[in-house]
Amino acid sequence: MKLVFAGTPEVAVPALDALIASGRHEVAAVITRPDAPAGRGRRLVASPVAERAEEAGIEVLKPARPRDPDFQARLREIAPDCCPVVAYGALLPKSALDIPKHGWVNLHFSLLPAWRGAAPVQQSIIAGDQVTGASTFRIEEGLDTGPVYGILTEEIRPTDTSGDLLTRLAFAGSGLLAATMDGIEDGTLRAVEQPHDGISHAPKITVEDARIDWTAPAMRADRLVRGCTPAPGAWTVFRGERLKLISLGLVPDRTDLEPGALAPAKNNVYAGTGSHAVELLWVQPQGKKPMRAADWARGVRIAPGERLGGADVG
């Protein structure tokens, strides 16, 4: 088939590579989000997908909006059979969805209909799921509601961050997307409507969502930290400034600390929660680089009775 691939961030690059390498289909063009400011200089930078496509000599389309008439006219000129999608980042209007013969097929990082939405990997970790996966489905106008072509499953490991899990799913899912294109092309694959039960939603996690509630159980804090790493980053407040929490350890045999209470030791820093203590392993103070929590504690000289949480005035 002639394909036009749509994707933007680094997590979409393995799927693009898999389609280029398959040899069975032609990636005629790539659609990605417009260049965006990045770094201290805020200079415009092309997306990772755009950079990979340019390296491969593939035409890159960067519409401000997919309903743009010039963009849709060019897509009609290319006349793709199918448009595979991974984390493109913009809603597709029906006028664009109707252009390719076999529609637009999305690789979504959950077992649909679970975790429809923008942050399925983060939300699955925060919810405490033990298994997740990826699905390929035909895009409709609804949010991740289209019929499913194929799935794969992936175990969520006890120490997985969303970054760890997303990387594994990106590489495993690239094979699923390539196989889906093969099945559509040879007519052996049919999309099946999603069930009406088991639906859950995965909205984008805001900075406020990522704030630690020390009165909640320790497991909740651990899942929130892992689910929000690397972005948007779980955080709390210490001495009126934000303190980002990069990794925690569970300490179930220590139950003497009240929620948010700090207990520094020579090479460890413990904090109380609504159940048992956690050990702060890596933190990032406001305006500084990530560091070991024990080094941070020695630097700030935690006084008896000081706590995490409270008003955010930083």
Task: State the Cα–Cα distance between residues 176 and 193, nearest whole angstrom.
Answer: 18
Q: Look up residue 14 and give its amino acid.
A: P
**Amino acid identity at 4:** V
Encoded tokens for 187: 């007519």
Residue 112 labeled ligand binder: yes
Beta bridge partners of 150: 136
Q: Is beta strand 234-238 parallel, antiparallel or unpaired with respect to 269-271?
A: unpaired
Q: Is 308 annotated as a binding-site member? A: no
Helix (H) or strand (E) holding 84: strand 83-86
The token pair that represents 68 in the structure block: 């743009």
Task: Tell me the C-alpha distance between 160 and 128, whole Å.
Answer: 11
C-alpha span between 261 and 304 (Å, rounded): 9
The answer to the question of whether 243 is labelled as a binding residue is no
Q: CB count, 10 Å around CB of 167?
A: 16
Distance CA 239, CA 217 (A): 23
113 among the known binding-site residues?
yes
User: Are the C-beta atoms of residues 211 and 236 closer than 8 Å to each other?
Assistant: yes
Q: What CA–CA distance (Å, rounded) separates 198 from 244?
A: 33
**Which residues carry a binding-site annotation for (6S)-5,6,7,8-tetrahydrofolate?**
110-113
**Which residues carry a binding-site annotation?**
110-113
